């Protein structure tokens, strides 16, 4: 995990409008670098977790399958 202020083009999760805990990811960086940066949308200058594209796909699949 790192802390960054790099000018990534962050995209919020589709659930960010519901007032809950949300994450953001940077798809352009993921395409260019082969790792997916993820951060807490409420802490834009906080730590950034980087995962492999397959790990990110697994996280997305898990989130979609969860009952909210």
Residue 29 forms part of a structural domain:
yes
pLDDT of residue 20: 62
Q: What gap in Å lies between CA 68 and CA 53, rounded to an integer? A: 24
CB count in 10 Å sphere of residue 10: 18
Q: Does residue 11 or residue 68 have the better pLDDT?
A: 11
Residue 6 forms part of a structural domain:
no
φ, ψ of residue 5 to 5 degrees: the values are -120, 15
pLDDT of residue 15: 61
* Full domain range(s) for residue 60: 24-68
Encode pLDDT of 18-57 as tens digits. 666 688 999 998 889 999 999 988 888 899 999 999 999 9
Residue 37 forms part of a structural domain:
yes
Domain count, the chain: 1
For residue 3, is pLDDT > 60? Answer: no
Whether the full predicted model's pTM is greater than 0.95, yes or no, is no
């Amino acid at each position: 995990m790192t802390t960054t202020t790099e000018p990534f083009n962050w995209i919020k999760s589709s659930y960010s409008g519901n007032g809950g805990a949300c994450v953001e990811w940077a798809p352009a960086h993921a395409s260019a670098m082969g790792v997916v940066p993820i951060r807490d949308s409420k802490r834009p200058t906080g730590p950034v977790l980087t995962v492999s594209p397959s790990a990110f796909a697994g996280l997305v699949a898990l989130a979609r399958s969860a009952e909210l």
